[in-house]
Structure 1
Amino acid sequence: MVLHFGKATGIYFKTMPFVLLRMGIGVLLGLATVLYFGILGFLAYTFFSESISGIIAIIGLLIALFIFIKAWNLFARYVLYLVKAGHIAVIAHIIDTGEVPSNQISYGTGQVKEHFKEASALFAVDMVVKAVIKQFNKRVVSFADLVSFVPNLKQIIQIIAKAITIAASYIDEAIIAYMFISEEENRWKSAGDGLVLYAKTWKSVLGSTLLMVLGMYAVALVLFLALSPVAGLLGGLSTTFELIGWVVIAGVLLTIYSGFLKPWVKTVVITTFLIEAQDETPDSQTRQYIEERSDKFKELLERGEQEETEGTTEKQPNEGGPATPA
């Protein structure tokens, strides 16, 4: 297994504008969340604390949560996906050409709009790709049933399987990256080709990703242990200060994890996949191998054929030719 950490880390720093943009959006979302629930809590305490029953309060809280979740999903689907995919497009471009776009944000978002037209199209492809990867990994990587007669070994394998599941959650982004540099215009066929290439390189890609995920959680543990004395020190003042300390620590860890570590892992996964797949080509044998293990892959191929048929129909001229103006 060849590790491409050095090259990927260099690309990661080259795409720092996107990293900082995503981190900034994350911080703003965090502040908006605190503000939203803070205002709700203030209003509830000020005006309704003595005049409403517990059941009504719970219903109100559930409604507020529902509105928040709906708003979050809409924002994630139409804004965060655009930023996330734009970053992926820039990473893929650098790996493919060795050049860094002068205006990364504009280039990345432009590539997303060019390839997917609208965010919902990207979302649809990504969901199916994730499902295929999940089914493929489950059928190919899982081997816990073969050692069920050794209880301790089975537990270890189950832990590894959970880590693999987390690692696999990054791989769909590598497939999206391949789609940005693929010459195939049909996005479903392009995704299918990317999945075939993943099936041919999954050991290197998933193996390196697994190492990074384990390392990332080790870093998180070290940071937690390093920062926890701060909360303990504040606890000597009062319980409130201790609680504030833990909230601040959680915020710092979440910012580091979401703002810096996750984009780095994503960059390494994409870099590893695209480099490992350079000397490979999608072939019918591997395609059939995936079809036998994933019904979602069959669905993806069917969507590709459907899109191609619809595109061909739209390009065909009318049988009677263009209408003659009166």
Structure 2
Amino acid sequence: MPWVAVRFAVGVGFALLAVLWFGLVLWILFGSIGVSGVIGLVLILLATVVFGGLVKLLHRYVLYLVTAGHIAVIAHVVETGEVPDNQLQFGKQQVSDRFVEASALFAVDQVIKTVLKQFNKAVASLGQLADFVPALRQLMGIVTQAIGLAASYIDQAILAHMFLHDEKETWTAARDGIVLYGKTWKPVLGSTLLIVLGMQGTMLAFVGGLAVLSGALGGFGTIVETVVWLVIGGFVAVGYFGLLSPWIKTVVITTYLVEADGESPDSETMDYIADRSSTFADVVSRAEKEGEPAPEPVDDVVEDEPGVGTPG
């Protein structure tokens, strides 16, 4: 809950920043200057681009560190069964011990994301997913979008593995974490996929409610309608980034750590991932530069199953 509270506060800050920024822009453009037409649209788009760049910068150096600290605490709880007395201080210390600066953490995570994206695209096709979740055959269009959303949380599970194995160098821990995902991707991606499908169903109901609200606001004028939509957008942002996203992240991390418990990285799975992700070679190369040899073959690796192609 301390981390949820911090993320909630950060979410409120981002929402208020958005309301103030676009409220000021709209007031200047339509109230003070009085522009309209194409020029007004272009200026609004420009203001949106500037705001997006600002938020991206803040997200990288503020919210990303909060996320990493939360991941470190979740990993510790899963591993030991105990919650640190001061979660915020513990998470901050873990992040500072593992990564000298935020940019280092960001760089590692970006490479991990690229590897996961390439790997998931190769192995998590709709036909293969339907082999172990037959009901997905009826949801082909929705599942295509859901896979991408579900996979976006998995890099954080890899970071959790890195925090638990502080005896390993950074890129070595990243390599081994990716290899373990290669051995456990079905339950990890499958559980997250169900959550995302539930989110999409909730979103459809929410959009239906917004359609009714839009009709009711039609007679109150442009300014009132704009302010109402900004407030609603702020509440949605706070709810998602402050509450829902941390919960989904926790489910993904715990599922990954539980499934990976007792598993060991092996060269067969590493080769399997390398065949499906060109970027993984960069991770392996960086790990070797740290002086860590590649994992040895293991005897319990099973040949690829027909139609699935997943080791283990």
Please give the TM-score of this superposition, normalised by the length of structure 2.
0.80
Counterpart mapping for 1:1-326 below 5 A: 16-45=1-30, 48-49=33-34, 61=44, 64-142=47-125, 156-225=139-208, 238-239=220-221, 244-308=227-291
Give the Cα–Cα distance (whole angstroms) in 2 for the partners of residues 202 and 285 of structure 1: 15
Helix, strand or coil at the partner of 2:168: coil
1:287 partner amino acid:
M
Closer, same or farther: CA 213–58 of 1 in aligned 2, 3 Å: closer
1:21 partner amino acid:
V
User: How far apart are residue 301 of structure 1 and its match?
Assistant: 1.1
User: How far apart are residue 114 of structure 1 and its match?
Assistant: 0.8
Contact 2:172 2:290 in 1 (8 A): no
Closer, same or farther: CA 185–262 of 1 in aligned 2, 3 Å: same
Gaps spanning 5+ residues in structure 1: where? 1-15, 148-152, 310-326
User: How far apart are residue 160 of structure 1 and its match?
Assistant: 1.9
Give the Cα–Cα distance (whole angstroms) in 1 for the partners of residues 140 and 73 of structure 2: 36
Helix, strand or coil at the partner of 1:163: helix
Gaps spanning 5+ residues in structure 2: where? 131-135, 293-312
User: How far apart are residue 228 of structure 1 and its match?
Assistant: 6.2
User: How far apart are residue 217 of structure 1 and its match?
Assistant: 2.2
Contact 2:19 2:234 in 1 (8 A): no
Closer, same or farther: CA 308–78 of 1 in aligned 2, 3 Å: farther
1:80 partner amino acid:
L
Helix, strand or coil at the partner of 1:100: coil
Contact 2:19 2:230 in 1 (8 A): no
2:12 partner amino acid:
V
Closer, same or farther: CA 63–196 of 1 in aligned 2, 3 Å: same
Corresponding residue number in structure 1 for 2:308: none
Give the Cα–Cα distance (whole angstroms) in 1 for the partners of residues 198 and 182 of structure 2: 24
Contact 2:182 2:269 in 1 (8 A): yes
Percent identical across equivalent pairs? 49
**Residues 103-112 or 270-279, more deviating:** 103-112
1:37 partner amino acid:
F
Closer, same or farther: CA 234–43 of 1 in aligned 2, 3 Å: closer
Tell me the alpha carbon deviations over residues 90-119 of structure 1, each in whole angstroms, 9 at most, x when there is no partner.
111111111111221121122111101111
Corresponding residue number in structure 1 for 2:298: none
Give the Cα–Cα distance (whole angstroms) in 2 for the partners of residues 242 and 53 of structure 1: 19
